[in-house]
Homo-oligomer: A and B are copies of this chain.
Amino acid sequence: MGESQQKKVVTIGGGTGTFVVLSGLKHIPSVSLKAVVSVADDGGSTGRLRDGYGFLPLGDARQALLALADENGATLMRALFNYRFSKGDIAGHNFGNLFLTALTDILGTDSEAIEAASQILRVEGRVVPVSDTPATLIAELENGESITCEHNIDERVYGRSPIKSLTAETSIDISHDAKDAVHEADVLILGPGDLYTSTLANFVVSGLSEEVKTSKAKLVYIMNLFTKAGQTDGYSAQNHIDAIERHIGRKPDIVVLHTGVFPEKILKRYADENEFPVVDDLPENNNIIRGVFADVVEAQQLEGDTVPRSFIRHNPEKISEIFKTLL
């Protein structure tokens, strides 16, 4: 299929949710994919490297690269990019993050590092950091307090005062590549993923909201399956939409909303973390696509991995089916 006939689909996000969406959409031949990823990560392996080097944090870029990597080739390299050290003084470091840091140091820029990694992993599509400057997030809470740093906002502090707004500590600009990607997009996809620390973390960058607001692209939001303790406690589906509108200044045109019921045993596990299914309080209309789009996934907790893994995930193929009809 010629490039001109392809629909330009751009995800804006980071983390596991974006990984799942990219994994699904990359199999649609009529789609040309770009992943705009957050540069706000400052916890775990990425945070340790960011502290040492001051490079752009590429933890979200790494996951997007992996999602877009060739599944049939580059097997060993994909395993390496996903590998986490579990022993000695490097325990907790992800090999892909070390790879991207070394590449950035050798080649001189993060974009060259991403380009080199894209070739090594035989990536289809492009991964584009939302800014060339690392972002430090500040969440203003409704009680007047504020929390600095992505990894602090990301902590599961159930019942914390709700987040009123998310900004960057110092003003940073959208990257040229991210601006171009959004400008040329036919479809923009937000979510799923932690509403503040993955999705809206991108919009602390000056220029992104403006691009999205003025874009003629369809804005699709894939609704989260669960609330996240300390970030979206008690959020209904409408509350998610409202937070997006408040931060971006534009409502999603289309909302993808999972309506399936999960096994009690797994709900219990989420409830133990004070996380609950997002309640569907949206109206019945054609812009709300309801259906069973998520599965129980036996995601292994990696040794040495300090981030707890969720066990219900959107299904890449089902996400892909939705977009085949949407495009």
Contacts and interface: CB of A to CB of B under 8 A. Distances in A.
A304 to B, nearest CB: 11
A49 interface: yes
Interface stretch (A8-16, A99-107, A245-253, A314-322): A99-107
Contacts of A80: 99, 102-103, 106
A87 interface: yes
A85 B100 CA distance: 12
Contacts of A79: 106
Nearest to A90: B90
A88 B48 CA distance: 7
Contacts of A172: none
Nearest to A91: B52
B88 A49 contact: yes
Given A83-B106, A98-B98, A106-B83, A90 B88 contact: no
Interface string A99-134: 101110110000000001000000000000000000
Contacts of A89: 48, 52, 89-90
B88 A52 contact: yes
A53 B93 contact: no
Interface residues of A, number: 25
A98 B93 CA distance: 11
> What is the interface of chain A mostly: helix, strand, loop, or mixed?
helix
A167 to B, nearest CB: 27
A323 interface: no
A67 to B, nearest CB: 19
Contacts of A101: 85
Interface in A256-284: none
A208 B250 CA distance: 73
Nearest to A98: B98
Interface string A225-263: 000000000000000000000000000000000000000
A143 to B, nearest CB: 35
Interface string A49-93: 101110000000000000000000000100110010101111101
A102 to B, nearest CB: 5
A95 interface: yes
A169 to B, nearest CB: 21
A79 to B, nearest CB: 5
6 contacts: A76-B106, A83-B105, A85-B101, A90-B98, A95-B98, A95-B99
